[in-house]
Amino acid sequence: MEEKFPAGESLDVGTATGRYLLAAHSYGLDAWGIDINPAAIDFTQKKLRDQGLFPNRAILADVHSLPLVENRFSLITCMMGTIHHCTSMDLAVSEMARVLAGDGGGGTDPVDGVTWDGDAGDGLWNAAANWSGDAL
């Protein structure tokens, strides 16, 4: 399965508990996550620290103004309906496209897709399997 994943860095937008960040890491991606909620970032940083990973991979940030360099990530995920919480869909998608590498791809969960009871790896796999290499 791993051969379908783009190599390099991934970004999980709205990382919350770090579920998809950790799933991306388990597939060998250099995984990062952002969330606008300080409690979510604290939780995820603790989880990363407890697993011997770098807690600074979870960043307090707003998708509408990402503090990240352009063309950086080969995969961007925005799961669990996070995209519907954006105050400006156009700006959020524009920012994700800005930090997405030219040959990168992205994925969101479908309306009937992954639930909190589902497997994060399967959700990430679905995003990667649907990855076309086209920018958002």
Mean pLDDT, range 53-78, rounded to an integer: 93
pTM: 0.77
24 in Cβ contact with 45 (< 8 Å): no
The answer to whether 129 and 89 are in contact (CB under 8 A) is: no
CATH number at 11-129: 3.40.50.150
Phi-psi label, residue 22: left if phi above 0, alpha if psi -120 to 50, beta otherwise: alpha
Beta bridge partners, 75, equal 10, 105
Q: Where are the domains of the chain?
A: 11-129
| pLDDT tens profile 70-88 | 999 988 888 767 877 888 8
- pLDDT tens by residue, 114-130: 333 334 444 444 444 44
pLDDT for residue 5 is more than 70: no
Residue type, 121: G
Closest alpha carbon to 7 in 34, 23, 30: 30
Confidence band of 47 (pLDDT split at 50, 70, 90)? very high
The closest alpha carbon to 96, from 79, 111, 80, 78, belongs to 78
Strands, sheet with 58-60, edge to edge from the N-terminal-most edge strand:
58-60, 30-35, 9-13, 73-78, 100-108
Average pLDDT of every residue of the chain: 78
User: Mind listing the pLDDT tens digit for each residue in 7-29?
Assistant: 789 999 999 999 989 988 988 88
Q: Residue 10 corresponds to which amino acid?
A: S
Would you state the pLDDT for residue 106? 65
Give residue 53's pLDDT.
93
